[in-house]
Chains A and B, each alone.
Chain A
């Protein structure tokens, strides 16, 4: 019995102590070509433990609690910025990242806002937040001239009342929806002024009765199955829904549009927690991801643009030539970015969000 206990203790200790050949990655769900994971293990001999999440809040709480045990995590820019402030990440050692030369300056300039000097993170994917629509169902509800590419589709109660029948989902992410509502009103989407933010509340309460659900990942399947006809969601997710519907050949035709009024541009950044058990393997993983062909494989699979210029020659036409993924110059001009709310404003925003969702 005693030896059994000793053996068990030893095994547990061995499992918790990170060995040199193990790396733990925490990434968004549906966000990589899983073949890449096997390829990484084969090439490097490092065991890869891959875990997923679907909200920045969950990731951030793990980071702030400390001791998450992850070696690589993927927060969105505005969340990354606050986590850097809290001291959650270690500066990257670029000597271990020769593939960093593949990174794209256009994106680096923009992520500099969240991670000054791009010291702590590299861009994995970026995209826009916009409108996914089931063309058939929406034109049936609103007529041929339905404004598929306008925020009026989802923020004008007259439109939403008619769309409620076929189902509308919104992201359950106030930092995505409130800026869009402000943009619809012609206000500064990045405003931190509670009075301006209150205007977004009015818009949202006006369309609230017609929104079936706030959720950040269910809409992919719901759109593809024809269960809902409109989703305000992330570009690549909606494009995945489009492809799933096409594969199922169920007569559902999905389109994605970045709103013509302007769309939120976001960046998911890979970073290494300050207490990562195996920072060396973490660097190996980042370097592997920044390889032009690997990064291209990931984008070709998930339909998101990446921050890797060298990967562009390996992208399939469906990705590189699609302006919903790689926007043209004019659309790029029209995209805006978002910075984190200060704590007191954050409270107002969460409160507003609870009110919008639950009516209380």
Chain B
């Protein structure tokens, strides 16, 4: 009984916060546009009884999903979002790993403060932090002023409103999500393993590649997922820092929802996005489980 209670809590959580919203979105994606409040039909009406339910289900169809295949905009946007998410995740890893490594190697008395420094920026509103990047990256922003003053460039660089600015914004915003899980695995790393490696004639560099990196893989994978998943549907960063060449699915969703007022089609775009994200996550977990079983 106690076991059952323990299992039911996470499942209830999942049903309330994931399954129910998903079913609502799925239902809207099968509906049709209408000039009304809310702007789609049919609406679920229990007062009409069984007949009403039957009529309701007969009006649902997959037209919106079919429409998504008729225009290459959607596939291009999905692919472009995937590309941006993959590149940004990789860049975040490049920046985040050395930070996590440095933290884990630091004196124990220093670590709480270093940890605090990573978390501290969260105390300021995300929006304000992205806005301040606009001030840094703009044509006459601080970065250009600095580079001009130092003499590295003679013309101000155009960074704001390009994909470069989007990458900078994503790496900056999601860095803690990468650093924290990697730090957690590195901190737990058994130092005697490295000593053993050196005793057996391994140089420091190869011990790093042969011992530290493989043992930190769980942290790296967790960090990459924490960055990759929100990045793919990111809307705020590309809309503030990106230019018109930045094509991301979040923006396409916005257009369907706000400009076309086509909630059903917007929902269909969202359902597909979810499928794109869920499939690799499930595959990843299967793989993890298999590995664990093989090891056990």
Contact = CB atoms under 8 A, between A and B. Distances in A.
Interface in A11-69: 55, 57-58, 60-61, 63-66
Given A57-B258, A64-B261, A347-B262, A213 B35 contact: no
Contact of B73 (A86, A274, A354): A354
A360 B33 CA distance: 25
A82 B247 contact: no
Nearest to B263: A64
A58 B73 contact: no
B245 A358 contact: yes
A86 B36 contact: yes
A227 interface: yes
A64 B244 contact: no
B161 interface: yes
A66 B38 contact: yes
A351 B71 contact: yes
A174 B255 CA distance: 12
Contacts of B161: 212-213
Contacts of B38: 64-66
B37 A61 contact: no
A1 to B, nearest CB: 22
A360 B247 contact: yes
A351 B36 CA distance: 23
B243 interface: yes
A359 B260 CA distance: 19
Interface string B251-266: 0100111111110000
B42 interface: no
Contact of A86 (B37, B243, B259, B262): B37
A297 to B, nearest CB: 31
A350 B257 contact: no
Contact of A214 (B36, B37, B244, B252): B244
B204 interface: no
Interface in B223-267: 243-247, 252, 255-262
A192 interface: no
Contacts of A354: 73, 252, 255
Nearest to B134: A218
A88 interface: yes
B257 A359 contact: no
A186 B26 CA distance: 45
Interface in B44-98: 71-73, 76-77
Contacts of A358: 244-247
B48 to A, nearest CB: 21
A353 interface: yes
Contacts of A357: 244
A87 B37 contact: yes
Contact of A85 (B35, B244, B260): B35
Contacts, number: 70
B67 to A, nearest CB: 9
Interface residues of B, number: 28
B139 interface: yes
B218 interface: no
A350 B255 contact: yes
Contacts of A82: 35
Nearest to A66: B37
Interface in A157-216: 174, 212-214
A351 B73 contact: yes
A250 to B, nearest CB: 13
Contact of A350 (B33, B72, B77, B259): B259
B83 to A, nearest CB: 13
A61 B261 contact: yes
A346 interface: yes
Contacts of A60: 258, 261
A63 B259 contact: no
A274 B259 CA distance: 22
A11 B243 CA distance: 43
A85 B37 CA distance: 10
Contacts of B262: 343, 347
Contacts of A359: 244-245
Contacts of A227: 139-140
Contacts of B76: 360
A61 B257 contact: yes
Contacts of A66: 37-38
Nearest to B262: A347
Interface in B1-56: 33, 35-39
Nearest to B247: A358
Contacts of B244: 213-214, 357-359
Interface of B: 33, 35-39, 71-73, 76-77, 139-140, 161, 243-247, 252, 255-262
Of all A-B residue pairs in the complex, the 5 with the closest CB atoms, nearest first, are: A57-B258, A357-B244, A350-B259, A64-B39, A66-B37
Given A346-B261, A354-B255, 19 more contacts: A57-B258, A61-B257, A61-B258, A61-B261, A64-B38, A64-B261, A65-B37, A65-B38, A66-B37, A85-B35, A86-B37, A87-B37, A213-B243, A213-B244, A343-B260, A347-B260, A350-B259, A357-B244, A359-B244
16 contacts: A55-B258, A57-B261, A61-B257, A64-B36, A64-B38, A85-B35, A86-B39, A87-B37, A174-B259, A343-B33, A350-B260, A354-B252, A354-B255, A357-B244, A359-B245, A360-B73
